Amino acid sequence: MSSRILRVLVGTALVVAACSPGGGAAPTAAPGGTGQPPASGGTAAVEFELRGSSNVGPDTSFGRAAEAFGDCLNEGTSGRVELEMFHSATLGSDAEALELAQTGALDFTATTIYSNVISVGTVFDLPYVFNDEDHWKRVTQGAPGQTIKDAGIESGIRILSFHLGGWRDTYGNTRIDSAEDLQGLKLRTLQSPAYVQFFQALGAVPTPLAFGEVYLALQQGTLDGAETAIPSMFDAKQHEVSQYVAQTRHGLSSVAWAVSESTWQELPADIQAIVTSCDAEATEQQITEHIADATRIDQLLQDEHGIEYTQPDLEPLRAAARDTVYPALITDEAQQALLQEVIEMGE
């Protein structure tokens, strides 16, 4: 057994044990299973058994793209590579999976909190930094995206691409018609400094909580609301315990699809090239499907689930971001230069 595979198995065991009541043996997780057994006749033996983690379910734009990525790897390498995807945070939270990837105990992960380990990545987290999906795509697939990818290698992850997380809105059981309605609300936010400081500037109380625990907190009233992209909220069934969606559109999420740098270095050059090619195909699929899913889910929540949508005035929200969050977080020359580049690409 290779040292890399041993690290993966040990890391997975640690996460599963940590998530199990009492720390005892946990039930075996059911993987997404993109890798297929080698077919007889002309198919190479499996050389690399890889594992990937995602916080959302398999029937999402992210989940479907990850499965397509794995199928492409298996086919493109004639069976030399197999990828098992573990969806719905089976291997732990976003933070736990990111740490496993950094240490080499997990091969691939989809993460929204890469800015916690890549300082310059904070620019992509800034509220209202992107004008629309076209601006986002030019930036993430252009020079600014490459800047963040290059910076990530030092932290132990190699970002292959940015998937479209979509517009982040605010939802829950309190109607929000204006910025003033956010004051005093206990909201679960992405644990990124940009989002925490943004909602603090608006008088809300950002509350750290794993995404998988939001459903119960909304149901029990220990949270007033949360913020994320609505397709992710729908995937987690949080619409069942929510009455309102406020289209605050405060962020256009960039989800980094990353490979552990230690895994990358163990892959031969020909497989690295196939990984890159398959990733490009899967990324385009994910972006296209996400945009379609978001439109469909917004309509579905209103028509069939009785969720009431509101459209607060966004200018006070933009002002809070511009006047408070940007100066507080964009402090070094690299961040300032990247932010200016992003802004200019949207003009």
Question: What integer pLDDT is reported at residue 105 of this predicted model?
Answer: 98
Separation of alpha carbons 281 and 302, rounded Å: 33
Residue 308 in this model has a pLDDT that exceeds 60: yes
pLDDT band at 209, cuts 50/70/90? confident
Q: Please, are residues 236 and 215 in contact by the beta-carbon 8 Å criterion?
A: yes
Question: What integer pLDDT is reported at residue 8 of this predicted model?
Answer: 44
Q: What is the CA radius of gyration of the chain?
A: 20
> What is the per-residue pLDDT across 12-21, written as a single tens digit (0 to 9) for each?
444 444 344 3
Q: Please, are residues 309 and 242 in contact by the beta-carbon 8 Å criterion?
A: no
> What is the per-residue pLDDT across 117-174, written as a single tens digit (0 to 9) for each?
999 999 999 999 999 999 999 999 999 999 999 999 999 999 999 999 999 999 999 9
Question: What integer pLDDT is reported at residue 31 of this predicted model?
Answer: 36
The residues, ordered by sequence, that sit 6+ positions from 133 with a Cβ below 8 Å of its Cβ are: 164, 252, 287, 291
Q: Please, are residues 69 and 283 in contact by the beta-carbon 8 Å criterion?
A: no
Separation of alpha carbons 71 and 108, rounded Å: 15
Q: Does domain 3-340 have CATH number 3.40.190.170?
A: yes
Residue 11 in this model has a pLDDT that exceeds 80: no
**How far is CA 134 from each of CA 43, 149, 257, 345, rounded to the nearest angstrom?**
40, 20, 19, 10
Domain boundaries, the chain: 3-340
Name the pTM for this structure: 0.86
Separation of alpha carbons 93 and 283, rounded Å: 22
Secondary structure (3-state) at 214: helix
pLDDT band at 44, cuts 50/70/90? confident
Closest Cα to residue 46, out of 107, 1, 97? Answer: 1
Q: Please, are residues 148 and 118 in contact by the beta-carbon 8 Å criterion?
A: yes
pLDDT band at 42, cuts 50/70/90? low
